[in-house]
Chain A
Amino acid sequence: MNSQDFQLLSGVVRDRSGLVLTEDKIYLLESRLVPLARQRGLNTLADLANELRRSNDAKLKDDITEAMTTNETFFFRDNKPFDIFKQSILPHLLETRSSRKTLRIWNAACSTGQEPYSVAMLLKEEAAKMAGWRVEILATDISNEVLEKAKSGLYSQFEVQRGLPIQLLIKYFQQMGEMWQIDSSIRAMVKFQNVNLLESLNMLGSFDVIFCRNVLIYFDHETKAKVLSKMHKIMANDGALFLGGAETVLGICDELNPVSGLKGVYTPATGGVLAAAG
């Protein structure tokens, strides 16, 4: 791929999603965008780039962005954050919100839904402690295609075997031919919505917990800082933000602090519950 074409295509993706593609990611562009080019009757990425210059078509730009921002995910990815949520964060929230009995959780960049459904199953397993509670799980992504898949709750045999304990498969899934579908009671706990993290997040309301794992790594420094600052604004003062293992707020956003002893968890610098949660 020549440099101008790379600049054009990666520029579209960057403007629309914040995702930064460096030249070492050319292979990724090729593997994701060649199928898209073919769908439009074009043979190569050079043809696709020319088509984009000619038409400046917004739908084409959306399709390119969507193809590049779809990322792999699986149930209970990395395990540890879910243990921390269950053992440290949830007990704190149940205690401090016991009078209003509501919880709002946001999975930013949820991809095909495994993370919000993992949270939903985890909460369902804790149902005995949560009688009378109203829990809202909002799951968002920039790609409509992954959101449609997420809503359907249908997963392949391969997908249900990565991270999902067999007991939970037995309890919360039904076999549908070659696929497995997560139970409607779990699906009903999660609301899916298209949200671009580069745009305003204020309309989403305020959250007690935000999961935004393995998203910031794809952004440049400035975009990371903006997204973190916007998330901070819609977090409860004693709320928890979960980032991925290779991500941090340090040196990027001083409104948030890491929580000591809870790896990957960040909380507002002015609030900071989690010290209290012990």
Chain B
Amino acid sequence: MPKLITGVGCPYCGSSCDDIECLVSDDGKKILETRNACVIGNEIFHHVSSPDRPTKPRMRQADGSMKEVSYDEAVDFTAKALIKAKKPLIYGFGSTNCEGMSAVARVAERAGAVLDNCASICHGPSFLAIFDNGYPSCTLGEVKNRADVVVFWGCNPMHAHPRHTSRYSIFPRGFFTTKGQMQRTIISIDPRETDTAKLADYHFMLNQGHDYELFDAFRTVLRGHDIPAEVAGCKREMIIEAAEKMRNARFVMIFFGMGCTHTDGRNHNVDIAISLTRDLNTHTKSSIMAMRGHYNIAGPGQVWSWQFGFPYCIDLSKGTRAHMNPGETSSVDLAMRDEVDCFVNVGTDAGAHWPIAAIKHVKKHPFIAVDPNICMASEISDLHVPVRVVGVEEAGVVYRMDNVPIQFKKVIDGPEGVPSDEEFFDRVYTRMCELTQTEPMWIPAKGHAKASSTSEH
């Protein structure tokens, strides 16, 4: 009889929903039905059983075609490419678990690589602003239970985080927000009338790229000063009215997204958003949160900050210390300056999501893609290594957008012989140590876990 597995985590967006239910076939190999997931999550759970999914590494041949090779050959190729390269770039990690990130970090340190995650082309500027100005944030549970004014600045959760509004930010009834949506004032700030803006009580359709001015206008009004009749294409009266709503709220929550970080101003837009949150706290309670894109993109920030002291753009090529300087050690800048001589793409698709000019640069050198599926990076790579899908075929710790760790479950068995990211990179690490005739260094806790897992199998 098919088995219903509850409390499953969804490996898509930063909301990291952990209330998914999967109906699994008798043999535990196929997901028949998913419940509670959004259309995108649903697609992920069903796609794992797709017959076109690769289950063997593929290596590019001299004639340009791809040929299936064994995992041993893939491990060997990756280890040798990383040893040979002077400054390899290992990039990605939107879609893998913290165990995988930690394993890759060990490889990167040994290879003297630059270690970077997708935040580099996403919420990287938010990190810069947070370093400068602090991060007065909270958890999504607090948003659900307390927030009565919710601001969506340059983000569109109805499309990018489909269940965010129903689980946390607009609709749910919480401890102090017993009336749900009726009790919340929603403010959307977006140059388009997005599907999120349509749910808002106030929609500021600002002139694209003029976020800083509008934030500044809100701060000016809250400090009791006058503003011009129109700021960034928005009327003074409306700004004053919305600022009053914020001032009189019991708890103001500001969510910000790519509208702030992808456009002119970058980190300065986020910087002033944080200052606005601070100003609001002189009148009421207020908090701010980055709308992180992937279910575990907050993970590398946590794991690597603990390992190296920095969340992203970590240059380990110096050998003795980690160095972080976005603009210099960030992936796209490194690629555009042609500074890397090997590229490893893990759990993301740089091929589709980087500007094409940057891809042309990294493709001049060995290009390795580690990803469960066929994607643009895998189709231009010299080596594509399929791995198990975290959250579906592989358990592990992920960090939700509010930096709350969640243990994701394994729902079904992965294809036979296909390793997880962690297993693959542990093998690469071991091989690199063999090739360089050095002792592998497993930290004690990890060594212990490895010893016990070997005895189990």
Decide if A and B are genuine partners: no
